[in-house]
Chain A
Amino acid sequence: MATSVELVIKPRRGWQAIDFKEAYRYRDLFAFLVWRDVKVRYRQTLLGGTWAVIQPLIAMLVFTVVFHRLAGVGSDGTPYPLFAFAGLAPWTFFSTAVSQSSNSLVGNQQLVSKIYFPRFFIPLSSICALLLDLAFSLGLLVVLMIYYRWHVSFTALLMLPVFILAAVLAAGGAGLILSALNVSFRDVKYAVPFLIQMGIFVTPVIYPVRYIPQKWRMLLGLNPMAGVVLGFRHSLLGSEAQFDVITMSLFMSVVLFTIGLFSFRRMERRFADVI
Chain B
Amino acid sequence: MPPIVEVRNISKQYRLGAARAAKENFREFLLRKVKAPLHMLGGSSPNGGPEYFWALREINFDVKEGEVLGIIGRNGAGKSTLLKILSRITDPTEGYVHLRGRVASLLEVGTGFHSELTGRENIFLNGAILGMSRSEIISKFDEIVAFSEVDKFLDTPVKHYSSGMYVRLAFAVAANLNPEILVVDEVLAVGDIAFQKKCLGKMSEVSRSGRTVLFVSHNMATVENLCQHGIVLEQGKLVFSGTSKEAVRHYLGGVLQTMGRDGTNQVDLSNAPGRRRDGRHLLTRVEICTDGDRPVTGGLEIGGRLKLKVHFNLENPTDSFNIGIGFNSMMGTRYFTAHSFFEPDRSHGERVGPQVFVCDIPSLTLMAGDYTLKIWLDVNSAKADEIEDALRLTILESDYYGTGKAPWNGAVVMKHNWYLEEPSAQSADAEGKTETISTPR
Query: Interface residues, chain A, CB within 8 Å of chain B?
Result: 1, 3-13, 26, 28-29, 31-33, 36, 39-40, 43-44, 110-117, 184-187, 269-270, 272-275
Contact = CB atoms under 8 A, between A and B. Distances in A.
A39 B121 contact: yes
Nearest to B43: A270
Contacts of A43: 116
A9 B59 CA distance: 14
B89 A272 contact: yes
Contact of B25 (A110, A185, A269): A185
B116 A44 contact: yes
Contact of B94 (A11, A186, A272, A274): A11
Nearest to A185: B26
A274 B22 contact: yes
Given A1-B180, A12-B91, A273 B100 contact: no
Contact of B89 (A1, A5, A115): A115
B6 to A, nearest CB: 9
Given A116-B105, A273-B14, A8 B98 contact: yes
B88 A9 contact: yes
Given A3-B100, A114-B89, A114-B107, A185 B18 contact: no
Which of B86, B95, B125 has the most chain A CB within a 10 Å cutoff? Answer: B125
B321 interface: no
B128 A29 contact: yes
A115 B102 contact: no
A8 B10 CA distance: 12
27 contacts: A3-B100, A6-B99, A7-B103, A8-B99, A9-B86, A9-B98, A10-B91, A11-B93, A12-B91, A29-B128, A36-B125, A39-B116, A43-B116, A113-B89, A114-B89, A114-B107, A114-B108, A115-B107, A115-B112, A116-B87, A117-B129, A117-B131, A185-B26, A187-B25, A272-B84, A273-B90, A274-B18
B4 A3 contact: yes
* Residue from B21, B86, B88 with most neighbouring chain A CB atoms (10 Å): B88
A26 B96 CA distance: 24
Contacts of B96: 8-10
A13 B44 contact: yes
B201 interface: no
What band does the interface of chain B fall in when counting residues whose beta carbon is under 8 Å from A?
A: 35 or more
Contacts of A33: 125, 128
Contact of B87 (A111, A115, A187, A269): A115
Contacts of A184: 22, 24, 29
B130 interface: yes
B55 to A, nearest CB: 10
B111 A111 contact: yes
B186 to A, nearest CB: 13
Interface string B372-389: 000000000000000000
Contacts of B134: 28, 31-32
Interface string B106-149: 01100110101100010011001111111000000000000000
Contacts of A185: 24-26, 29
Contact of B22 (A10, A11, A115, A275): A275
A114 B106 CA distance: 8
B27 to A, nearest CB: 8
A275 B97 CA distance: 24
B279 interface: no
